[in-house]
A = this chain, B = another copy of it.
Amino acid sequence: PSRLPGYATHQVGVGGAVFDESTRKILVVQDRNQLKNMWTFPGGMSEPGEDIGDTAVREVFEETGIKSEFKSLLSIRQQHANPGAFGKSDMYIICRLQPCSFTINICQHECSRCEWMDLNDLVKAKNTTPVTSRVARLLLYGYREGFDKIDLTMEEFQAVHTGLFYKLFHKELPANYKTIPGM
């Protein structure tokens, strides 16, 4: 029996923070329509049935032409639009991605600008959103002191009754805790 109720109540969006450790560069875009002249991470809405990491990789590629690989989940934003009106809510999840290509091929419909920016410059930038700025600081912390400080890593499990697989994200658990008898 499915534990899912019959209707959907939320949108889930995913942003991709594509960071290249070797050059300390982060991929940022300026949206053509909203948030003009503000540096943000590329991203967009998750399709039903699509994994979070896959959404991030797809949206980054569609907007910027950059190929990347999912590394971890970094942050979750909850937002409600006009409380009391329609009650629409959204979750926006920011993932850390590692680039596999570097040549930008911008989507003109969505973005007006796209560049590889030094992470220190994004941390200090004024023309960025509060979330982008905060995640840039989180990345700087991870870059300097180890990404294990900030990463939520993913593991796959099988559900008890349905047999379906699901993905669980949380701070990496030391191996000795994973192997306590019982699991």
Contact = CB atoms under 8 A, between A and B. Distances in A.
Interface string A158-175: 111110101111110110
Contact of A79 (B50, B160, B166): B166
Nearest to A86: B48
A10 B76 CA distance: 15
Copies in the complex: 2
Nearest to A174: B141
Given A79-B166, A167-B78, A170-B150, A141 B177 contact: yes
Contacts of A117: none
A89 interface: yes
Interface residues of A, number: 81
Nearest to A79: B166
A171 B149 contact: yes
A177 B135 CA distance: 11
B157 A134 contact: yes
A42 to B, nearest CB: 14
Given A4-B88, A7-B8, A8-B8, 8 more contacts: A9-B11, A49-B84, A51-B78, A76-B93, A78-B169, A129-B160, A138-B171, A140-B177
